[in-house]
Amino acid sequence: MGKRQIKNESALKKIKLPETQEEMFGRVIKMMGGENVMVKCSDNIARRGRIRGKLKRRVWIRDNDVVIIAPWEFGKEQRGDILWRYTLPQVDWLKQNKYIPLDF
Which residues lie closer than 8 Å to 72 by C-beta, 6 or more apart? 78, 79, 80, 81
Q: How much of the chain is helix, strand and coil, in % rounded to 5? A: 15, 35, 50
Indicate the DSSP class of residue 99.
Answer: S
pLDDT more than 70, % of the chain? 86
Q: Is 84 helix (H, G, I), strand (E, B) or coil?
A: strand
- Domain positions in the chain: 20-96
In the chain, % of residues over pLDDT 90: 50
Determine the CATH number of domain 20-96: 2.40.50.140
Beta bridge pairs of residue 68: 25, 84
Q: What pLDDT score does 34 carry?
A: 85
Higher pLDDT, 65 or 34: 65
Distance (Å, rounded) from C-alpha 37 to C-alpha 82? 9
Cβ atoms of residues 86 and 69 within 8 Å: no
| pTM listed for this prediction | 0.80
